[in-house]
Structure 1
Amino acid sequence: MKMLISILLAWLFQLPLSAVAKERADLLIRHATIVDVAGARLIADQTVATRGDVIVAVGGDAEVAKAWTARRTIDGGNRFLIPGLWDMHVHFGGGPALVEENKALLPLYIAHGITTVRDASGDLPNEVLAWRGDIASGRLFGPTLLSSGPKIEGIKPVWKGTIETGSKADVDAAVARLKGLGVDFVKITDSTMKLDLFLYAIRKARAAGLCVSGHIPLALTVDQAVDAGISSIEHIGYAYKAGVKDEATIAADFAAGRIDRAEAYRRIDAGFDPGTAMAAYRKLAAKGVFVTPTLNGSRVIAYLDQDDHKTDDYLGLIGPGLRATYQWRVDRAANADAAGIAARHAEYEHEASVLPMLQKAGVTIMAGTDAGFLNSYNYPGIALHQELAIFVDKGLTPAEALASATRAGPAWFGKLDRYGAVEAGKAADLVLLDRNPLEDIGATRAIRAVVLRGAVYDRAALDKMLADTRSKVAAWDAAAAK
């Protein structure tokens, strides 16, 4: 009997692969050049097979195409296949009247190759959490949505959509509420938050098993927030502050009321020290603290004197109510005199200059845009590509910039086992590009097709998403003009 089995097995393995029953997939992408982001290298003439929302096989075209058959096959044409892009800092808001305008932003992300977004809280937290569930179940079309829900703040804060806290008991209740809502992480801001409660809230949320992102109060040092356990620092200005030699003295003086905000920032701008910064950034890296620079939004505001964006074609994709929320920042910038404008330029350039220092120190940089309501001309979708272009302009390599938008987000959420690479077992979230992003980061804009949770959207489908949104916005504009 054993001999018979051996003979049969030997005969079977001598058969050509085509004579053996093929595995069934939903999609085959053939003749693609896979971009190995982690290795910063290209792997030519590959075929990717997906079933449902999972990649089930990746390998040389001849090998995979013989072993697999699929309901749909795409010829990659030697184009470049990358993991889906992640925007790790977006906002939805503007009040209940703008729910539909915010919802209309969701397809814009997909049309620009962004398959996952991290909602860093606005004033529609409950609606966004509902969208998260609707997207996951297929009832709503949009990128995978990871949300903080309502952010934790102090009493009577500037920002709406918050859980107000004035005591440790309030913080305990806030964290319990967020856990109950099933949020993906916690966002803490510093409008009116007491200093001790800010640090307590970080520790409490981390103890509850949640990552914590946020702003850092001017009256605290970055080091204090890091020691409390903050997981990511949002906006590069806080990372810049960590490089100020007398940061602790400035924080103490501001907390005691000895200096005002303007004087505190003047001293911060004057006190940056590269040696201090590198030591601080190495600690961020050692503690696993990520940084989301959000440079594109800062650039837009800093240089409004040179480009007022009033003729941007992209305005036709943003609803009139959301466009109106841009005005407060525009007005504030318009009120600046020549000295104020020069200071604005200098602040942006100084802060942006620390980006390569963070990279050199080993800090994981996450691409996030701050796009959404309030943040003028920082458009959902295209802003991520603009952010990546800034990263390269300020000193990162195209490979490093690409990693910030494909691997950093999954790493922060502990999801690199499922996202961030074109490999078997990973999510079927993919973007097919006409050009090589390892040579030119601008290639991330040259999108031929997007695969989202296994579903394919070719260039025509992506263009239709944009056209449909444009038509919707035009109808809202017409209604508003009556």
Structure 2
Amino acid sequence: MKSLIAALAAFLAATPVIAADADLLLRHVTIVDVEKGILVADQAVATAGDTILAVGPDAEIVAEWQAAETVDGEGRYLIPGLWDMHVHFGGGPDLIAENKALLPLYVAHGITTIRDASGDLPYDVLAWRQEVAEGKLFGPTLLSSGPKIEGLKPLWKGTIETGSEADVDAAITKLKGLNVDFVKITDSTLKPDLFLYAVGAARKAGLNASGHIPMALTVGQAVDAGISSIEHLDYAFKAGVKDEAAIAADYAAGKIDRAAATRRLDAGFDRDTAMKAYRHFAEVGLFVSPTLNGGRILDYLDQDDHAGDPFLAYIGPKLRATYQWRVDRAAKATPEEIAFRHAHHEHVAAVMPLLAEAGVKILAGTDAGFLNSFIYPGPGLHDEIAYYVEKGLTPAVALASATRTGPEWFGKLDRFGSIKAGKAADLVILDRNPLADIRATRAVRAVILRGKLHDRAALDRMLEETKAKVEAFAY
């Protein structure tokens, strides 16, 4: 019996292991673990279809897997695909083609998922979402709110107008029917009490709710109602103002206008008040999407008119024309108003490290889209997270804000946000280490989108093709 066992063992040892099949094998990559903020050197990743099959030391993975396509990473850095958690599409029906042409720009810059926070083309975007999912349209995975919930006769188009709780209930039913990914609520004309009702109704329907909090409410009221994320850092700043409730009440009573309220908020910020609020944010699982660099661009238009930005070549002429609205508005400001605008921006930006200290999750989002001048789809996300580091976050936290917290907000960490077997094959190969220098996220060598490899040459072709489309739009 012993001799039989020995003979069988010898036979098995001499029999070559048949490697399992994969579509793509990435070898000799340094994996950036964005959850732990560490590097894992000399790894290999095997993928099939849109899913990661195996991850581990290069020698082990190569012994177990063979692939139709193999890429030698040569020690380069592998991160999960980037997420831009605040973008817009809009400008009216005449701009549909120019908006659609923006989609490859995201992929060309390593962005594999975007969260559409609604514009005035919500139904077109929902159609694109489906086309991307079915492989009929090239672009990043699209997650969308569909049409915003608003009040009656609002400033913003592309909304569901509501004037009563029954209207809000009907709006939520409609959005559920559209299978939206979350609910966006804005405050152009929406009554404050209906804003709170809409937040609660969305959450009861099983949907995350985000939006613009009415000045007549405190941020705490929106948080208590169940808002899932704060869009724009100004609202987080507002939560740190000691007499926020009194300012909200005066605004609601018509005693002060928005400009006066903003000045009082700016003067009333208190660190202890802020930290108490931010710790509560963290406790209840509230996320913050700062859209901070977009704010910087708009607040400092007096110093940089961006007329020479090379990336304008990738933006359609009608979309570029929508930028003028904010440019003209900024140009009307007095020297005193400009000085306040600059100072207030710096005060707001200074809360970034306070949020991190309190444990609040940051959602990297750009606000890129129509009207929002010179915030570019693609490079805007790299600018955003670099600005986070400039204002006090660590590169690891900034990187997580663009790779991990987006999936976490959507409850999709089982599929996205890390490089592990069973996760989505949405990956980016970088030439440099983003944990040492966050600006390394710009050094994209290749993008794997839903399992398909796009090398540097392919990414450059995306850019050139988009530029050619934009040139054609001009005629």
* TM-score relative to the length of structure 2: 0.98
* CA apart distance, 1:97: 0.5
Partner of residue 187 from structure 2, selected from 190, 197, 221: 190
Say whether residues 1:307 and 2:265 are aligned partners: no
Counterpart residue type for residue 31 of structure 2 = I
User: In structure 1, what residue type is equivalent to 2:349?
Assistant: A
Deviation digits for residues 186-228 of structure 1, max 9, x if unmatched?
Answer: 0000111111111010111100000011110000000000000
Q: Does 1:239 align with 2:243?
A: no
Output the amino acid matched with 2:45.
Answer: V
CA positional deviation for 1:303: 1.2
Distance 1:8 1:304, change over 3 A: farther
Distance 1:25 1:267, change over 3 A: same
Matched residue SS, 2:45: strand
Per the alignment, do residues 169 and 9 of structure 1 end up closer, same or farther by CA in structure 2, a change over 3 Å counting?
farther
SS in 2 for 1:31: strand
- In structure 1, the residue matched to 2:13 is 14
- Which position in structure 1 is the counterpart of 2:365? 368
**Equivalent residue in structure 1 for 2:117, among 113, 117, 120:** 120
Give the whole-Å Cα distance in 2 for the aligned partners of 1:7 and 1:224.
74
1:248-305 deviation line (CA, Å, top 9, x unaligned): 1111111111222222111101100000000000011111000000011111111112
- The 2-side partners of 1:468 and 1:104 are apart by 9
In 1, Cα distance between equivalents of 2:292 and 2:12: 57
**1:423-444 Cα deviation digits (max 9, x unpaired):** 1111000000000000000000
Give the deviation of 1:7 after TM superposition: 6.6
Matched, 1:400 2:397: yes
Matched, 1:212 2:209: yes
- Which residue pairs with 1:74 in the alignment? 71
Kindly provide the CA deviation profile for residues 229-257 of structure 1, in whole angstroms up to 9, marking residues without a partner as x. 00000000000000000001111111111
The Cα offsets for residues 303-350 of structure 1, whole Å up to 9 and x where unpaired, read as 112111001110000000100000010001111121111111111111
Corresponding residue to 1:43 among 35, 40, 45: 40
Aligned to 1:273: 270
What is the CA-CA distance between 1:11 and the residue it aligns to? 4.9
Greater shift, 337-346 or 357-366, is seen at: 337-346
| Deviates further, 53-62 or 299-308 | 299-308
1:324 is matched with 321
In 1, Cα distance between equivalents of 2:286 and 2:160: 24
Q: What is the SS of the residue equivalent to 1:227?
A: helix
- The alpha carbon displacement at 1:102 in A equals 0.2
The one-letter code matched in structure 1 to 2:359 is: G
Q: Which residue does the alignment assign to 1:289?
A: 286
Selected match of 2:86 from 71, 75, 89: 89
TM-score, normalised relative to structure 1: 0.97
Per the TM alignment, residue 14 of structure 1 is displaced from its structure 2 partner at its CA by 3.3
2:30 maps to what in 1? 33
User: Deviations 1:48-72 (Å, cap 9, x if unpaired)?
Assistant: 0000000000011111011100000
Summarize the Cα distance change of 1:192–1:402 in structure 2 as closer, same or farther, 3 Å threshold: same
Q: 1:298 to 1:14 in 2, by over 3 A?
A: same
Output the CA distance in 2 between the equivalents of 1:325 and 1:289.
32
- Please name the residue that 1:174 is paired with: 171
1:223 aligned residue (215, 220, 223): 220
Return the match for 1:440 from 437, 444, 447. Answer: 437
CA deviation map 1:113-169 (0-9, x unaligned): 000000000000000000000000000000000000001000000000000000011
Query: Which residue matches 1:418?
Result: 415
**Aligned-partner residue type, residue 183 of structure 1:** V
Deviations 1:368-405 (A, max 9, x none): 00001000000000000000110000000111100000
CA distance, structure 2, for counterparts of residue 96 and residue 160 of structure 1: 12
User: How many pairs are equivalent?
Assistant: 475
The share of aligned pairs that are identical, in percent, is: 69
Cα separation, 2, equivalents of 1:316 and 1:189: 32
- Aligned partner of 2:145 in structure 1 is 148
Q: Residue type of the partner of 1:197?
A: L
Q: Which runs of 5+ in 2 are unaligned?
A: none
Q: Which residue number corresponds to residue 23 of structure 1? A: 20
1:451 equivalenced with 2:448 (yes/no)? yes
Question: What amino acid maps onto 1:90 in structure 2?
Answer: V
1:53 paired to 2:50 = yes
Secondary structure of 1:347's counterpart equals helix
Report the Cα distance in structure 2 between the residues aligned to 1:75 and 1:367, rounded to whole angstroms: 30
Runs of 4 or more consecutive aligned structure 1 residues displaced over 2 Å after TM superposition = 2-16
- Aligned partner letter, 2:248: A
